[in-house]
């Protein structure tokens, strides 16, 4: 976040390395994923992007099916996140979709059919890494 409290422009959202604290089925056909860590890239300059860790919430709306295989791993790490269509980079403004699938490091899988997804970033936790772009 910059000094005004707004989020700096986002270059990339990396949900496949996020960490889930809880998955909650909400009234009205919503599923909420509480994220303890989601990597967000911010471009510092032409050569370098900073990777920051955020706490956040992913809300899947108008859910008409949910399939859960296995148990949420203790550490909550997502090894892969696939949206159909691929709306990952539009999640901060909300995006229409048909499904989302989350594979976890322990082999568990969460598959949700939903009409919309929205990612809200609640807190900027700290700098995780720097990514150097090829010239």
Q: Which tens digit of pLDDT belongs to each residue from 65-92?
A: 999 999 999 999 999 999 999 999 899 9
Neighbours of 118 (CB within 10 A): 16
Residue-wise pLDDT tens digits, 9-55: 888 899 989 999 999 999 899 999 999 999 999 988 888 999 999 99
86's tokens:
């691929």
> Domain map of the chain by residue range?
12-130
């Amino acid at each position: 976040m910059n000094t005004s409290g707004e989020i700096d422009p986002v270059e990339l959202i990396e949900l496949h390395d996020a960490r889930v604290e809880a998955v909650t089925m909400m009234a009205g056909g919503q599923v909420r994923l509480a994220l303890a860590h989601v990597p967000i890239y911010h471009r510092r300059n032409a050569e370098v992007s900073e990777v920051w860790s955020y706490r956040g919430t992913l809300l899947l709306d108008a859910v008409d099916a949910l399939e859960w295989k296995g148990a949420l791993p203790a550490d909550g790490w997502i090894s892969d996140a696939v949206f159909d269509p691929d709306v990952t980079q539009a999640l901060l403004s909300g995006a229409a979709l048909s499904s989302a699938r989350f594979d976890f490091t322990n082999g568990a899988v969460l598959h949700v059919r939903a009409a919309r997804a929205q990612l809200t970033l609640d807190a900027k936790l700290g700098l995780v890494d720097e990514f150097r772009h090829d010239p």
